[in-house]
Structure 1
Amino acid sequence: MKLLCAGGGSGGHIYPALAILERLEALCVDRTERLDTLWLGGTGDLARQLVADAGIRYRAVATGPLLDRGPGRRILSLAQVCLGTLQACLHVLRFKPDACLATGGNAAAPGALAARILGIPLILLLPDSAPGITARWLGRLARTVLVTTTSAAKYFPDNSLLCGYPVRGDLLAAMNNPDASRQSLLTAMDMPAGASGDPLLVVMGGSQGARSLNQAILHHLPALLQEALVLLVTGHAEFDAVAAAVRRMELAAELREKLVVRPYLDREAPQALAAADVAVTRAGASILGELPASRTPAVLVPLPIAGGHQWSNARALEQAGACLVTEDATVRDRLPTLLLPLLRDADQRTTMAARMAALGRSNAAETAAMAIASLSMHTVCANGHPESGTDRPKPQLP
């Protein structure tokens, strides 16, 4: 089976697609097929690194917002999308995929449009609880829209499939033994074993980091370290400034050893989520799957832009009593009021963890993979032969 993936942007859009690919590859093995994947995304995109790490071929195409601010920027963006779509068409004609999985976001548009133009079945993955402009347009072109929440399904009443947020297998594996994940993380982060009885606070601003979160944590850091171990993931752009600020604090040795500052977590992220007693994070798409899968109570600080998508994501968890939410503008003032009681109250954390776990869908990747397989040209029946009508002609080079 040949699958084209189109997308990029934040980790919240990339990781669920990689989780689906993990499960789809297993399905192909069961069917004695081989999964061959090509990923089309933007230039200089985070997806390039993450996709390459997963052993998947990546090709960059031009892209831009479908609706930008100002007439001049709109014309430029439209030109970029058109150029990227032409580039993507060439890749599609050479690769001849059986189906296309688009993850939403601006980087998905050229590859998804090329697939649609050339008659390749299009499946849209909507990680957020509400679609952005690009996702709304692509949803109209898709055979199936894979949605993570019931609130997202209402935007695509005719072609949506509720599957939940696909979570990476390494996070699910880490949750099989949270205690071992915690000890492994403490060892990897060089935290003292004697402090392992303290709650672990993990602060992550997403793949791009978050200055306001970093500054709020720094402002209250001594008080937080009195209550918990703190793993502060700053983002690459903020790491040097945060590390310098910590040095200037001249924390007491017993507090300093309870703090770890890192620019970004990739391979360690599943262990960190599995080990965390409380998380402070943005409200990107990944929280809809990874927090329920790891059963982690959280304080969420939605990004004040991004079309309001993060507020929709945060409310989906807040309404279930699984998290606390505060605005970005007030996070510095409200953080101790929200966070310190939660760190001190194990019973409250247990209650919130149970509510968070109830939101999870452990078979999300399986459901999504089956949907993709059913639309591919190599859908296989029990007798080992393609189903009737699924052997569609592939696009040909002129």
Structure 2
Amino acid sequence: MLKRKTKIVITGGGTAGHVLPHFVLVPFYKKAGWDILYIGTSGIEKQLVSEQGIRFRTIRAGKLRRHFSFQNFLDIFLVLWGTLQSLWILFREKPQIVFSKGGFVSVPVALAAWCLRIPVVTHESDLSPGLANKIIGKFSRKILCAFPDTLRFLPKDKAECVGLPVRSELASGSKDEAYAMCHFNPSDQRPVLLVMGGSQGAARINEAIEASLPDLLNNYRIIHITGRGKQNTKQGDGYFQIEYVSGALKHLLAITDFVLCRAGANSIFEMLVLRKPMLLVPLEIASRGDQVQNAKVFADKNWASVLRETEISPAKLSQSLNDLRSRAKSMQSSMEEFPAKNIAHSIFSILESIVLKLAS
């Protein structure tokens, strides 16, 4: 028995992909009676966490860049300031463990935890570790990952492949809610194509959809999640657009037949679990190439088709969607081979074992 109530600090941010997996684990923390504190910046993580009713503390953090920029010099001081803020918060809160999902936000928190001898566990969603997790890994007790091939990049004595926790509620959507939300006719025989570019949207995907819309609507009804501030003026029978969706995504997925999206690990693993055939347009420009690697793994396993961002055009998009449609049954058959294990429970068990070991 633990002498005092266990407290966990969770961190990660910059994009929704560094935040949403945390929410899958929250029910396990609450069931075990753990206190939860989220440390992040005032960015997207603060908004998402506030919707969950989780206690939140704000710090400053500098963005980590792989290229030269004068902004890097300022960001060094922001990282140091964020580390000092994290030291004070962790000293006051006295958590037993810190769990990070990566992103530049989590570096000061992990560094501060290491200074205070609080164990850190981090999780890498992409095939190759990002810069933040490469740094955090040096201070971590355990490094978890989603792809088995990621293990070759990680120290053997710390690494473990556990998969990526996905939101189980995404499988519990209502078709009626979705039809009402999108103003779609349930008797319309056109399949539904869900288009999404991640929490920040995807300009190239948006532009290709807008240019192809009249032709695409001959064959599909389209749900277009554009990203905040990126809605267009296009209209059409069977075309619904929205800037951002959170809780209602499960309803939209209930009527979705095909998905066109980026290749961020969280999104593609969720579509894999839901057995949704995917056409992936991985981010290549101004990227370290992680989405290209993710997409290749999924394509090699016949879980998705891939269209390069640099090749996207109305004609190429139409051709790629037709190919996806013809391969859908084969793709879903391959997806069935993906093991439906309780990944969230496995991660919680690892965190709990570290806490119990330190308390004994």
TM-score between the two structures when normalised by the length of structure 2: 0.93
Distance (Å, rounded) in 2 between the aligned partners of 1:12 and 1:66? 17
Which of 268, 280, 296 aligns to 2:276? It is: 296
Residue 47 of structure 2: aligned partner: 49
> Higher helix fraction: Structure 1 or Structure 2?
1
Which of 267, 270, 273 aligns to 1:287? It is: 267
Q: Quick check: 164-173 or 1-10, which moved more?
A: 164-173
Percent identity for Structure 1 against Structure 2: 28
CA shift in 2, pair 1:341/1:133, >3 Å: closer
Q: Deviations over 1:25-59 (max 9, x none)?
A: 23x0xxxxx2211111122x111111111111111
Q: Is 2:99 aligned against 1:101?
A: yes
Whether contact under 8 Å (2:277, 2:331) holds in the other structure is yes
Residue 39 of structure 2: aligned partner: 40
Which of 261, 267, 271 aligns to 2:241? It is: 261
Alignment gaps of 5+ in structure 2: 1-5
CA shift in 2, pair 1:61/1:117, >3 Å: same
Higher RCO (C-alpha under 8 Å, 6+ residues apart) = 1
Q: Is 2:22 aligned against 1:17?
A: yes
Whether contact under 8 Å (2:264, 2:291) holds in the other structure is yes
Q: Is 2:322 aligned against 1:340?
A: yes
Q: Is 2:12 aligned against 1:7?
A: yes
Residue 31 of structure 1: aligned partner: none
Aligned-pair distance for 1:224? 1.3
Q: Is 2:227 aligned against 1:227?
A: no
Distance (Å, rounded) in 2 between the aligned partners of 1:100 and 1:285? 22
Aligned-pair distance for 1:274? 4.1
Residue 184 of structure 2: aligned partner: 191
Whether contact under 8 Å (1:68, 1:74) holds in the other structure is no
Residue 203 of structure 2: aligned partner: 211
Residue 342 of structure 2: aligned partner: 363
Alignment gaps of 5+ in structure 1: 29-33, 175-180, 248-255, 380-388, 393-398
Residue 373 of structure 1: aligned partner: 352
Residue 113 of structure 2: aligned partner: 115
Aligned-pair distance for 1:359? 3.1
Aligned-pair distance for 1:188? 2.5
CA shift in 2, pair 1:83/1:265, >3 Å: same
**SS of equivalent to 2:99:** strand
**SS of equivalent to 2:67:** coil
Aligned-pair distance for 1:123? 0.5
The one-letter amino acid paired with 2:278 is A
Whether contact under 8 Å (2:107, 2:135) holds in the other structure is no
Residue 146 of structure 1: aligned partner: 144
Whether contact under 8 Å (1:302, 1:327) holds in the other structure is yes
Whether contact under 8 Å (1:40, 1:111) holds in the other structure is yes
**SS of equivalent to 1:25:** helix
Aligned-pair distance for 1:8? 0.7
Whether contact under 8 Å (1:277, 1:349) holds in the other structure is no
CA shift in 2, pair 1:264/1:274, >3 Å: same
Q: Is 2:49 aligned against 1:60?
A: no
The one-letter amino acid paired with 1:363 is N
Distance (Å, rounded) in 2 between the aligned partners of 1:356 and 1:257? 32
Distance (Å, rounded) in 1 between the aligned partners of 2:125 and 2:252? 21
TM-score between the two structures when normalised by the length of structure 1: 0.84
**SS of equivalent to 1:191:** coil
The one-letter amino acid paired with 2:181 is A
Distance (Å, rounded) in 1 between the aligned partners of 2:25 and 2:181? 28
Whether contact under 8 Å (1:292, 1:358) holds in the other structure is no
Q: Quick check: 334-343 or 205-214, which moved more?
A: 334-343
